[in-house]
Structure 1
Amino acid sequence: MTVTIKDVARAAGVSPSTVSRVISNHPRISKATAEKVRRIMDELGYHPNLAAKSLVSKTTYTLGVFLPRPAEELFLNLFFAEFIRGIVTRASKSGYDILMTSCPSEQDEISALNRLMSGKRVDGIILLTSRRNDPVVQYLNEQQFPFILIGRSEEYPDVLSVDNDNVQASYDATMHLIKRGHTRIGFISGPPHLILSHDRKKGYEQAMREAGLEIREDWIIEEEFLQESGYRAMSILMSLSERPSALVVVDDIVAFGILRGLHELGYQVPQDMSLISFNNTALTELSSPPISSVDISIYQLGYLASQNLIHTIQGSYAGEPRTIVPHRLILREST
């Protein structure tokens, strides 16, 4: 016999409307009541009919995760796997599913958004990257469709977003190298159209200027977030007549490529080159040598992005539009 919402209400000693509010994570339901009702639901084997619920509430209980480039390229980087884990963990607590979509080119992005929005396939969208003059942010903002940005928008500073203070994080990483006695410090950046690349480069330059050190353009290389990018960067830097003695690297996976390139060229870390990178993904501790990295709390970024978007969809979000997640330096043998 099928267990109904009335059966759950009777067993929990509450009204059917209270059970409905628990299922939809209504903010006015106390934690104790919610836990009791969910326990009864588990004991009775009750599962909400989300399809029927969606017809009544006109919601899909699905969040869209918008991947701005081919997914196979993104998931070469451990950052995204950990980030998605945070998104999924929080979404599942509120009964939301995740729909991921990717675009092979920028020209297809608005069409992909339209498929999600006009088809009413999702209630809100999470944008994984922030770019300068981003047409996706502009379009979603104009359509007033619920979305959250990982990063920040220069054109729309008040859109819902979750980010680190990337300028300060890069400043701190560079100052660590300066305090270790380095005066010749290079910077391996990401693509220049990404705001994250811009902010981390800005923090590096601020630290260098404050210390009175020269910023050399031939020691700054802009690449994609790929291991091969670090490998190529080493071929360029180590062929110079005057080379840096330390590098601030925009992403751990790029740092792995740098390690490989230095090893093949016969150089040692940190004796010949010191490295500090970003993200503190799991493999940084296992590399040889272990890499110093800026921990940006990847999981927390994803978790908060999911949480803040869900609260916005439900009309219960009362925080600031921009949430900043703290960072910390994790120092290992590469510096």
Structure 2
Amino acid sequence: MAVTIKDVAKKAGVSPSTVSRVLSNHPRISAETSRRVREIMEELGYHPNIMAKSLVSRTTNSICIMLPKSAEELFSNFFFMELIRGIVTQANRQGFDVLLSSGANEKDEVEGVARLLNGHRVDGVILLYSRTDDPVVDFLYQNNHKFVLIGRSEQYADILSVDTDNVQASYDATKHLISLGHQRIGFVSGPPELVVSKDRLQGYLQALSNAGLESKPEWIVEGEFLQESGYRAISFFMNLPDRPTAIVLVDDVISFGVLRGLHELNYKVPDDLCLVSFNNIPLAEMSTPPLSSVDIGIYNMGYTASQMLIQAIQHKDNDKVTARYVIPHRLVVRESSIFSVPKA
């Protein structure tokens, strides 16, 4: 016979309504009472009827993570895995389940989140990316759905978002190379439709301009957040007659492709070329040589986005929620950029 909420209440010495409040993470229930009730649930093997609970509370206690279109980019880039880890950790602590959604194109993405939200299968959405003129953001915003954007929106200033100051972070990375005496500094960007690519390019250009240095169009290469983009970019750079002596790369995974290409061309880092990258994933420290990289607090970014969304769903302290939360960044200098201008 299935264990009921009354069975849990009787064993815990509380009322059934108290058990219900524990299940809904009611703020008036003490931590001790919540702990005791949840221990009894586990002991008795009680599992709440999610569908019934959803009908009563009008919530599902589930959120959706909208993934980027490219599965290759998602599963080969530690950035997204670390973001998801932060989101899931916070969601689980709040008693929320997490669903993943993706689409082959923007139309599929909009239809996917519409089905989940209009079908009351999730209470809100976290977008792992920020694009210019994004129809998914338009749909969520115009229909007053709960959502949080990882990144900066160019469309709406009042949406909930979590980001780092990518302009300043890129400025700092470029300024570091300038301080080593570099005057010819290249830049490997991400897809141009992503706001993060535009912001990091802007910071790079501002640093060069403030230092009175030239920026040549051939020193800026666009690509995807994949190793192959870095591999192709470095082949192009090293064949320029007036090649850069240092490069700022928009993502660590791209840097690994650059390192592979330089090794095949018999160039050494930092002797022949200095590198500074972004995201400071664990592999950056273990690469050969270890990569200088801007730490943007990826896990904290995901954790904070999840926290903001669940707070919005539960209508807790909405007046105290900052619309745009900026995670501090720091440049971690390692062997790939510790020397002055390499030999030409």
TM-score of the pair, normalised by structure 2: 0.92
In 2, distance between residues paired with 1:219 and 1:83? 31
TM-aligned CA deviation for residue 162 of structure 1: 0.8
Helix, strand or coil at the partner of 1:25: coil
Deviations 1:191-222 (A, max 9, x none): 11111011111111111112121112111111
TM-aligned CA deviation for residue 223 of structure 1: 0.8
Match of 1:123 in 2: 123
Question: Comparing 292-301 with 19-28, which one deviates more in the overlay?
Answer: 19-28
Question: Comparing 206-215 with 248-257, which one deviates more in the overlay?
Answer: 206-215
Q: Does 1:102 align with 2:105?
A: no
Give the alignment of 1:2-13 within 5 angstroms: 2-13=2-13
Deviations 1:17-76 (A, max 9, x none): 232222212233333433343334334443322232122222222211112403343211
Question: Comparing 20-29 with 317-326, which one deviates more in the overlay?
Answer: 20-29
- Quick one: which amino acid aligns to residue 25 of structure 2? N
- Quick one: which amino acid aligns to residue 328 of structure 1? R
TM-aligned CA deviation for residue 13 of structure 1: 4.2
- Quick one: which amino acid aligns to residue 142 of structure 2? E
Deviations 1:103-154 (A, max 9, x none): 1122323222222222222111111111111111111100111111110111
Identity of matched residues, %: 61
Give the alignment of 1:54-203 within 5 angstroms: 54-203=54-203
Helix, strand or coil at the partner of 1:6: helix
Match of 1:327 in 2: 329
TM-aligned CA deviation for residue 190 of structure 1: 0.7
Deviations 1:207-266 (A, max 9, x none): 111212111211111111110000010111111001111111000000000001111111
Deviations 1:80-107 (A, max 9, x none): 1111111111111122111111111223
Match of 2:34 in 1: 34
In 2, distance between residues paired with 1:328 and 1:36? 42
> Which runs of 5 or more structure 1 residues have no equivalent in the other structure?
none
Give the conservation status (yes or no) of the 8 Å contact 2:106–2:135.
no
RMSD: 1.7
Question: Comparing 10-19 with 204-213, which one deviates more in the overlay?
Answer: 10-19
Helix, strand or coil at the partner of 1:334: helix
Match of 2:239 in 1: 239
TM-aligned CA deviation for residue 314 of structure 1: 0.9
In 1, distance between residues paired with 2:112 and 2:44? 41
Give the alignment of 1:195-234 within 5 angstroms: 195-234=195-234
In 2, distance between residues paired with 1:274 and 1:30? 55
Question: Comparing 217-226 with 57-66, which one deviates more in the overlay?
Answer: 57-66
Question: Comparing 132-141 with 39-48, which one deviates more in the overlay?
Answer: 39-48
Give the conservation status (yes or no) of the 8 Å contact 1:230–1:255.
yes
- Quick one: which amino acid aligns to residue 76 of structure 2? L
In 1, distance between residues paired with 2:256 and 2:128? 22
Deviations 1:287-335 (A, max 9, x none): 1111111111111111111111111111114311111111111221111
- Quick one: which amino acid aligns to residue 83 of structure 2? F
Question: Comparing 10-19 with 212-221, which one deviates more in the overlay?
Answer: 10-19
TM-aligned CA deviation for residue 170 of structure 1: 0.9
Give the conservation status (yes or no) of the 8 Å contact 1:162–1:305.
yes
Helix, strand or coil at the partner of 1:208: helix
In 2, distance between residues paired with 1:244 and 1:113? 44
TM-aligned CA deviation for residue 155 of structure 1: 1.4
In 1, distance between residues paired with 2:30 and 2:293? 41
Match of 2:309 in 1: 309
- Quick one: which amino acid aligns to residue 128 of structure 1? L
Question: Comparing 177-186 with 261-270, which one deviates more in the overlay?
Answer: 177-186
TM-aligned CA deviation for residue 10 of structure 1: 4.0
Give the conservation status (yes or no) of the 8 Å contact 1:70–1:102.
no
Give the conservation status (yes or no) of the 8 Å contact 2:68–2:74.
no
Give the conservation status (yes or no) of the 8 Å contact 1:24–1:94.
no
In 2, distance between residues paired with 1:165 and 1:32? 40
TM-score of the pair, normalised by structure 1: 0.95
Deviations 1:138-185 (A, max 9, x none): 111001111111101111011011111111111111111112222211
In 2, distance between residues paired with 1:162 and 1:182? 33
